[in-house]
Homo-oligomer: A and B are copies of this chain.
Amino acid sequence: MLHVQRRFCIPLPIVRQATCLLETFPEVISDVSEDPSSVRSFASQRSELRSADISLAVPSFVVWGANTGVGKTLLSAALAHEATAQKVPFLYVKPIQTGFPEDSDAATVAGACGISLQMGRHASEAAGSSSSEASYSGRTGNSGLTDVWLQHAWKLPASPHLAVAAEGRGVTDSQIRAAALHTLGAFAGKHGSGMALIETAGGPASPGPSGTLQCDVWRPLRLPGVLVGDSALGGISTTLAALDCLRHRGYDVPALVLTDNALQNWKYLRERLGSGALVLSLPECPPAPERSKAADSTGVDASLSDWLRAVQPSIRRLREHLQQWHHQRVERLHSLAGKADSMIWWPTTQHGLVERANVQVIDSRSGEHFNALSSDQGGHPCIEQRYDGPASWWTQGVNEDLQPRLHQSIAYSAARYGHVMHPENASEPVVACAEALLGSVGKGWAHRVFFSADGSSAVEIALKMAFRAFMAQHPKQDASRLEVVGIAEGYHGDTLGCMDAVAPSVYNGPRQTPWYKGRGLFLSAPTIAMTDGEWHVFPPDSEEPPSEAYKELFLSEKLPSLEQAFEPGRCKGTLAALYEMMIVQQLQRHELEQRDSSTLAACIIEPILQGANGMRMIDPLFQRILVEACRAKGMMVISDEIFAGLWRLGSASAWERLHIVPDIACYAKLLTGGTMPLAATLATDAVFQAFASSSKVDALLHGHSYSGYPIGCAAAVTALDLLSSPMNPMLCTPERCNKGCSQPCGRLLELWDADQVVQLSVHPKINRVIALGTVLAAEVKPESGQGAGYTATGAKDVVMSLRKTGMYARPLGNVVYLMVTPTTSRQQCAHLVRKLFSALG
């Protein structure tokens, strides 16, 4: 708004409805909610997958004000005026205007360029009296180089959320962004250079039409900002607080402008900001009442004209600074792929096989999406919004709406604690995190939480716990002979102890891990997948060809739905008997054969889904029987839920879906909601007591400096809270329940559309499909000559096609998978699967 708003009124120009907006975004415009209650709520204004790119061909900035009435529109007008004078293509967008038509920042800016807005039928009706039109659109006709747009307006001179409440015509956050992006894109396509401004309404934390804060409305685009500071008494504080508000949402603010230097706030601010931003002080513009009396025919009075001319040299410096900053930003982004490829050593990556053009440069994250550097159809650089298909290596927990809560929690705890040392100390987030874990995934069995920083450490700790606890029960055993029982093709981490706890594999051969020694009995396990529209149990891999009768036992297992695989009743079936026989026999044989060298002390499993090994679903019945058999032999049971736990597979813990209770369980990945490393090993009291003595040397001597660090624990407390809240669409609530529950029933709802899963499984290019919790995985049929397993490349073509549809995916051998967050909507999931279909061709 203008410096002194509502008094300085520019004669209303003629506004013509630009039809291109309606034509290009019919689904956006037609989808406007008329229900004021829905737009006033702060809850999800979930954005659908974005198809529009953010052009980098034209430097684009958002104009923010430290307060209302600090001169945002004056600055916009001055930049527009200067650009027009210099014949620099210029775009001004006012997405949200209240108090219209008396207030019209777009008209003021247009006036400063000597052009007037055209008015169309829709908007004139709306301006006349009550109207239900959601969107007014103006476009200049006077200058080929300057475009001025007003996109949504309301009559009430108040906060947009109140104007919507009073007048209707609600508009969602994603509609606001889509309209602005379209305008930016069209301008960039036409001119390919110049400058674009989006002027916000009020301050950064003022509500938009939906009730979402404007700094959150615009965050998915993460356009850089120009902040108009507050020159009044107290203005240093409001300016710095507004700057914090923007920066702590991940915005860059390369310029700060003050439009009144009476109190010289700029002097302090310039010193404070250092070289981080250009701080520009402009003289005050004469107050509005004098100006409006002398307004000339363009809507700009003589004193404003004088001011615009007076500030022109300073504004030129600002524009050049902004353009230079933008070019440096683009250059920096362009340099990142090469720098990363030449300085970083990526894990599990053969660098020579990575084409530099395929190195993804990520400018930011927004919810489930990356904002990644790309180029538009004209070859100009742009930021493309891509779905993070691997959930950033299986870590991501929250959607766009919930993400700010995680970040707030991180910012608060970083400032409150930094790091404080863990042993023999107590701080709120660490205790709260332990409490939350024991109250959810540890409920009913675990008494202690041991914190570490990554899954490997959590597993090494779990093994040390299990061995000591086993020794406490079997004091005559030789500790050096202790070994584990695991599932063949299991994976528990990359450090030596974790590797020793799995069978030989590509990860632990002599060239990878010379010190590796498989220390256990690793059983082949039956798997479950959908083929040709039906869920089947597949027999374990075996060296000898299985008999027909044996195969028939598996084929005859009826699984009308995947949920059926978890049914406790299955333990009375034929397959259960078979599993028990297989397991007991192998344990006995191992005991006989290894009598002198091995004592099986612990059973360690990845429950249900083996992630690193290509999203293989192990038959839950088999794991349950294995756990029972091992426990009967006195072994400790470790549930490695680093991948499978914390709602990744639909339930808080994976052990509960297996109907087992572990002695020790490990969590990581989703624990911080997908922000930073934190791991936890939970244990029973019996395990803990095995370390008790009067000597420190008997304590569990495994520590690292950041064990139990408060920032990570604070993020985890917030994440656990969000993931177990009704925001999690997999939890049954009365609203979601299709069985008429009147209160939360604990039943798990599937995220993936059952029909789509069936369709995928019958696709000619697909062998098998798994859809469980947040994971959908499809094994691509290998073409002749392609390998299988970790070295397979069958899924690579599909992955590359997916990337072209705005979905970043990575192959796992022959498997292509989509992983969403536990708070992703079903609509989003269905949308993603449609993309997969289109990539399969």
Contacts and interface: CB of A to CB of B under 8 A. Distances in A.
A701 B348 contact: yes
B683 A345 contact: yes
Nearest to A203: B237
A149 B348 CA distance: 64
Contact of A345 (B271, B700, B711): B700
Interface stretch (A25-33, A505-513, A539-547): A505-513
A337 interface: yes
A248 interface: yes
B423 A348 contact: yes
Contacts of A519: 515
B403 A407 contact: no
Given A203-B237, A206-B234, A693 B350 contact: yes
Interface string A646-685: 0000000000000000000000110000111100010100
Interface in A444-465: 447-457, 460, 463-464
A506 B697 contact: yes
A414 B407 contact: yes
Contact of A423 (B244, B347, B674, B711): B347
Interface string A238-266: 11111011011110000000000001000
A786 interface: no
A347 B704 contact: yes
B494 A448 contact: no
B453 A453 contact: yes
A833 interface: no
Interface residues of A, number: 171
Interface string A140-171: 00000000000000000011010000000000
Given A234-B202, A337-B426, A248 B412 contact: yes
B416 A365 contact: yes
Contact of A791 (B495, B497, B697): B697
Interface in A809-840: 810
Nearest to A668: B705
Given A240-B205, A346-B422, A705-B455, A412 B692 contact: no
Interface string A685-727: 0001001111111111111111111011000000000000000
A2 to B, nearest CB: 13
Contact of A698 (B341, B426, B511): B511
Given A236-B207, A427-B361, A344 B709 contact: no
A343 interface: yes
A513 B464 contact: yes
Contact of A706 (B207, B430, B676): B676
B494 A343 contact: no
Contact of A467 (B233, B514, B696): B514
A5 to B, nearest CB: 8
Interface in A296-355: 332, 336-337, 339-341, 343-354
Contacts of A359: 424-426
A696 B206 contact: no
A415 B404 contact: yes
A559 interface: no
Interface stretch (A89-97, A389-397, A756-764): A389-397
A617 to B, nearest CB: 20
Contacts of A249: 415
Q: Name which of A239, A244, A363, A514 has the most chain B CB atoms within 10 A of its CB.
A: A514
Nearest to A41: B271
Contacts of A69: 233-234
B407 A415 contact: yes
Nearest to A505: B701
Contacts of A403: 418
Interface in A415-437: 415-428, 430-431, 434-435
Nearest to A508: B701
A100 interface: no
B709 A677 contact: yes
Interface in A54-92: 65-69
A244 B248 contact: yes
A89 B430 CA distance: 36
B236 A159 contact: yes
A494 B413 CA distance: 28
A233 B263 contact: no
A213 B242 contact: no
A22 interface: no
Contacts of A42: 271-272
Given A340-B430, A513-B464, A703 B497 contact: no
A800 interface: no
Nearest to A706: B677
Q: Name which of A202, A233, A683 has the most chain B CB atoms within 10 A of its CB.
A: A233
A443 to B, nearest CB: 13
17 contacts: A204-B241, A339-B426, A339-B434, A360-B425, A406-B418, A410-B410, A411-B415, A419-B674, A452-B454, A480-B514, A496-B497, A497-B515, A512-B701, A676-B711, A677-B677, A696-B791, A697-B790
The list of the 8 closest CB pairs from A to B, nearest first, reads: A203-B237, A68-B234, A347-B703, A250-B416, A496-B497, A340-B426, A250-B415, A411-B411
Given A241-B245, A340-B434, A676-B711, 9 more contacts: A343-B431, A344-B449, A347-B450, A354-B424, A359-B424, A392-B419, A460-B494, A512-B700, A676-B706
